[in-house]
Chain A
């Protein structure tokens, strides 16, 4: 129970950091990068300790490899997104 409480307070602290980042005077890209980093750490903690992935190495790799492969597969869309914002005649 002690470890669960520590993870819970870590998650609360990380969520607090996200709210803190939201009020920083930084560009949207920087904000996105920082918030993504914090969210990935939060997700990792939840997966490892709340969902007990730390106890099963085989399952851990199975879940991580499949999920990360899908998420990386989605990255191809960004190029077209930047083309729309920068490369078209009406881009600002």
Chain B
């Protein structure tokens, strides 16, 4: 039973069962598939956090709407979206074999990530300065502070991890230890971080704008 008849594009060929079992799923290399599985699992984590937020916001009367300006969060969004584009340029350069360009754009992406994290911390400092902490909120329910810092903190943790990964993978790619596939897999993670922000901004920031 180690041989099997396979019909591929009308042609019958004999292929070993081992080859069938070890063929990459969806023709995706194992490393890349592992990243996709992580992304699916992580999207469930963020979805759970955002649902917990939605549940609490819906069930809590007098939910505070403390945000007066959108400038900071708009700049953060612009920086993160732009970093996705720079990452894409880096990956395309790597695929074309332009190593120095790929490294340069990967580092630009990491710099965008650092800028995003700095703006995020600035936002946090402003909130803490107004008296909002994990367990305290001067405008009402302390759950606001808990959820705000938990969700944005989890995202910031992902951004920080992404920046570290970009720098590490970029340097190893430059040194010849990693290849374009590794850069692409790191890029997948970075795009995912960007994708999550597209849901965090409207629900955590924009729906809590003071009118």
Q: Please determine whether chains A and B interact with each other in the same assembly.
A: yes
Chain A contact residues, CB within 8 Å of chain B: 1, 4-5, 8, 11-12, 15, 18-19, 21-23, 25, 28, 31-32, 35-36, 38-39, 42-43, 46-47, 50-51, 56, 58-59, 62-63, 66-67, 70-71, 74, 77-78, 80-82, 84-85, 91-92
Min CB gap A5→B, angstroms: 7
Q: Which 10 A-B pairs have the closest CB atoms?
A: A84-B59, A22-B206, A35-B202, A58-B26, A59-B26, A70-B44, A81-B55, A42-B198, A81-B58, A50-B191
Chain B contact residues, CB within 8 Å of chain A: 25-28, 36, 39-40, 43-44, 47-48, 51, 54-56, 58-61, 70, 74, 77-78, 81-82, 84-85, 88-89, 92, 188, 191-192, 194-195, 198-199, 201-203, 206-207, 209, 211
Known pairs A1-B92, A18-B202; A8 contacts B58 (CB<8 A): no
Q: Does B198 contact A46, Cβ atoms closer than 8 Å?
A: yes
Min CB gap A48→B, angstroms: 11
Partner of A4, one of B25, B85, B194: B85
Instruction: For B81, list chain A residues within 8 Å (CB).
Output: 8, 11-12, 15
Partner of A19, one of B39, B48, B74: B74
Min CB gap A51→B, angstroms: 5
Min CB gap A81→B, angstroms: 4
